[in-house]
Amino acid sequence: RIAEEDEAVEAIASGLRKILNTTDPAGGLIVGDHLRRTEAIYDLEILPALLADDDHSGWAALDVLLRTLAVHTRGIIYVPSEGFCDADGEVILSEEDTPNPLMEPEQA
């Protein structure tokens, strides 16, 4: 259960904080509703060898795994550099639409 796992509780809280100041209210509503109903979180660690090679064949396998999990659990996928996506890989809420409230705006 999510409530019994500190890391899962923090992941959901972090996601909810991301949507507080979203510039995409529709995406924020969809993601927020989904996060509030979340029962399980699958956290995948990416090995440095994969991160170092954009053309690594492991990326395709990871894509299949994430989409399969999302389809079979009716879940969404969160990618830190991209945002929240559905099982088809379509962006629901982009990272660009969820400014980090802890970061100060850049000085002009």
- Which pLDDT belongs to residue 28? 94
- Rounded to an integer, what distance in angstroms lies between the CA atom of residue 68 and that of residue 105? 37
| SS3 (DSSP) at 71 | helix
- Which pLDDT belongs to residue 59? 87
Contact 1, 68 (CB under 8 A): no
| SS3 (DSSP) at 40 | coil
In Å, what is the CA distance from 40 to each residue of 13, 54, 80, 86?
Answer: 14, 29, 18, 16
Give me the tens of pLDDT residue by residue for the chain, a chain 108 residues long: 576 788 889 989 988 998 888 899 999 999 999 999 998 898 888 888 888 888 888 888 899 999 999 999 999 999 888 899 999 999 999 988 876 555 444 443
| Residue ranges in the chain assigned as alpha helix (H) | 6-20, 25-36, 48-51, 58-73
